[in-house]
Amino acid sequence: MSRPRNYGRVTLWLLITPLLNSIASAANDDCPASRLHLSEPPYDNYLLSDCHTSSHVIVTSPVRGGKDLDPRLLVAWPAGNSGIAIYFEPENGVRGSLGLNLENATSTGNALESLDLGSTDSKNENPRVGVTGLVHFDSPAILTIPILGSIRAIRDYSEGGKTLHPKLQNAVAVVPGDVPGGAAIYRDWLDKQTTTWLTFAQTGDVDAVKIIPGDRYTLRFGQGTYNFTATFNYPQMSQLSPQQVLNSGSQDLVAQNPDQTTSLSFLSYKSKILAGTWRFLTYFGRDSMISVLLMRSILSQGEGGAIEAAISAVLERVNKNDGTVCHEEVIGDYATFLNQQNGVDSSAPSCDYKMVDTDYYLPIVMKDYFVDTETGKDRAEDFLNTKASFLQENAGTSYRDLAQSTAEKIMKTSAPFAASQSIENLIQLKNGESVGEWRDSNNGLGGGRIPYDVNTALVPAGLRAVGRLARDGFFTGHEDWKTLADEYAQIWEDKTLDFFKVTVPANEARDLVTQYVKEAGSSAPAFSERITGDVVFYGLALNGDNNQPIVRVMNTDDCFRLFLLDTTNQTQLSSFLDQTANNILAPFPVGLSTEAGLLVANPAYGGSQSYADNWSNSQYHGTVIWSWQLAMMAAGLQRQLDRCGGDKPGKSASDTHSSIYKFFSFSI
């Protein structure tokens, strides 16, 4: 499929640096490690997990094809959404000339070993854990920037215009070590309890690590190999092993797909399922619920299983006052930082509630598990009676009450459109926010305020789920929801699509595609001769930039409607399936198809240079491929084909269905 304490404590551990490998090996005798190495030049990724801690180490080496990148060693920890990033430059000053890599230890044959050093701080009983390894520099290097504490702080630097927060950076200390030739960097977190340490030691006859005084202390390394250890003493989470994250019927996947199941395990914990590593590596509500919906058939169920971990994490973070589901949590050092920015001396976690799509996934995923599976049915009562504890403001509130608050919000906000089908009554982004659903980058929706996926798929699917949950007794005091939710859903299913429909006459479509290829500066063919009739698709959003009533970008968000709904308006359904089949089978830039998969956006029909610029292949939600959208499209097509009758999609009666089946067969 992005954050150190007392000088004496640091030097104490430098004294025993030579013993760290033996300590790690002894610890791992009774705690076997899970390892994964993924090389994607100029990046080398190493995942290492055991019963003590989980670490993701990334080495960025410009000489391996990333000459515009800064050499970097990054360590990311799921616990506390924390980590370390250290940036280097070549001593010779030639950008792109410094290469670095991890080396395997001769004693173990591994690039990394996990560390559990026990408690080293009288003020903090948490064990100091982390990772150790050998890093090799192929020429002398200068460590220029160390960022220790929070993944969010690292992300602010790497993706936020090289933003460094003085309050965090000023606490970074660089000290010499008692072990000759070594040095250490550490930082006390703002909570006055946690510390992150990074130490370096010589191996063999390499140059001693040299501290270079200046505005900020930096370190100089010679050509050769150094031992590094990265540790911290924040509370750890209980990880689900590859066997634990999968259900009994899917255990063979561990052997068949070891890389994928190890990656899945690295992101799966008993308290929550995490978004991708390293840049996020914490709770994101939408991501975890989409993952559960797409992977429910293989994930572990029941108490302590992956599905309940994901659902409980969402419920724990619901805003109980208005039912809004949390998009992203803020925890660890960054939580303290933001609290202090607001004048509050606290390390309490907080949540981002700006998204408008995430609410609807909650009843959908609850219905999918607690109504549609036998294990879920058996677990529902005990699960819903669980009391929340993660957010202070939710402490003691039952999961049932938190789920009901979200359902109440869904019913309330969907009622205006059910009563009067106007643009004004559709779901819009929140005031002051430029994002609100999965295309949450600056140009993702082209300034649109009323997103296609939310209004045509997520709202009616959420309403259907609320109705079913109500009929199964999940809510109290809302008997009317048993029928009213479905009445609302029917209106949203049938009456929203036309607001987003774009029809481009064939002659105009051919001209626009040809014009787009020129504006994009592409040497690829336009395939305009493939356009033999009107091009039809549903725009990304309404009320876009430059007074665009519809953001005229063809897209893959049809997958939400295919995957989440069983619509009954047959005329509309046939037309919808037909345009979906045409667009996913047609080659880009006529449609969405490429040799690598479906693009999530095709701006060829926008008719202006801004469309080509805003949805380029360098944009986060531009002419790029997202794997989960491919998976949802395939699963959605399968769902619709299954409704046609017969066990095999190939038995469908219409040409449209046959076309869809050709794509489905290709995509999987």
pLDDT in tens, 102-123: 999 999 999 999 999 998 877 7
In this structure, is residue 546 part of a structural domain? Answer: yes
Clarify whether residues 223 and 266 are in a common domain: no
Clarify whether residues 375 and 460 are in a common domain: yes
The residues with which 174 forms a beta bridge, in sequence order, are 185
Residue 369 domain boundaries = 242-494
In this structure, is residue 434 part of a structural domain? Answer: yes
Whether the per-residue pLDDT at 668 is higher than 70: the answer is no
Clarify whether residues 421 and 543 are in a common domain: no
Clarify whether residues 45 and 143 are in a common domain: yes
Q: Where are the alpha helices (DSSP H) in 342-496?
A: 358-366, 374-384, 399-419, 452-453, 459-471, 481-495
pLDDT-derived band at 64 (thresholds 50, 70, 90) equals confident
In this structure, is residue 209 part of a structural domain? Answer: yes
Assign 175 to helix, strand or coil: strand
- Per-residue model confidence (pLDDT) at position 67: 82
CA distance 180 to 332: 34
Q: What is the mean pLDDT of residues 330-352?
A: 97
- Per-residue model confidence (pLDDT) at position 660: 44
Whether the per-residue pLDDT at 583 is higher than 50: the answer is yes
Clarify whether residues 662 and 523 are in a common domain: yes
| Residues 500 and 552 sit within 8 Å (Cβ to Cβ) | no
Which residues are within 8 A (CB) of 8 and not within 5 positions of it... i.e. 6 or more apart? none
CA distance 365 to 474: 14
pLDDT in tens, 532-574: 999 999 999 999 998 999 999 999 999 999 999 999 999 999 9
Location of structure tokens 């001396």? 345
Clarify whether residues 129 and 113 are in a common domain: yes
Q: What percent of the chain has pLDDT over 70?
A: 92
- Per-residue model confidence (pLDDT) at position 215: 79
Average pLDDT taken over every residue of the chain = 91
Q: What percent of the chain has pLDDT over 90?
A: 86
pLDDT in tens, 487-501: 999 999 999 999 999
In this structure, is residue 318 part of a structural domain? Answer: yes
In this structure, is residue 237 part of a structural domain? Answer: no
In this structure, is residue 408 part of a structural domain? Answer: yes
Clarify whether residues 516 and 408 are in a common domain: no
Location of structure tokens 């190999």? 225
Clarify whether residues 33 and 132 are in a common domain: yes
DSSP 555-577: ESTHHHHHHH-----HHHHHHHH
Kindly tell me the sign of the dihedral angle through the C-alpha atoms of 128, 129, 134, 138: negative
- Per-residue model confidence (pLDDT) at position 452: 98
The residue that leads in pLDDT, 66 or 407, is: 407
Percentages of the chain per state (helix, strand, coil), in multiples of 5: 40, 20, 40
In this structure, is residue 2 part of a structural domain? Answer: no
Phi-psi category of residue 224: left, alpha or beta, with phi > 0 → left and psi -120 to 50 → alpha:
left
In this structure, is residue 561 part of a structural domain? Answer: yes
Q: For the chain, how many structural domains are there in total?
A: 3
The residue among 232, 252, 274 that closes a domain is 232
The residue among 210, 232, 254 that closes a domain is 232
pTM of the model: 0.91
Clarify whether residues 121 and 187 are in a common domain: yes
- Per-residue model confidence (pLDDT) at position 31: 73
The residue among 232, 258, 287 that closes a domain is 232
Residue 337 CB coordination number (10 Å):
22
Clarify whether residues 139 and 269 are in a common domain: no
Whether the per-residue pLDDT at 25 is higher than 60: the answer is no
Residue 437 CB coordination number (10 Å):
25
Clarify whether residues 217 and 254 are in a common domain: no
> Identity (one letter) of the amino acid at 641?
L
H or E, element range at 48: strand 43-49
Tokens of 60: 């960025």
Whether the per-residue pLDDT at 10 is higher than 60: the answer is no
| Residues 279 and 2 sit within 8 Å (Cβ to Cβ) | yes
Clarify whether residues 509 and 434 are in a common domain: no
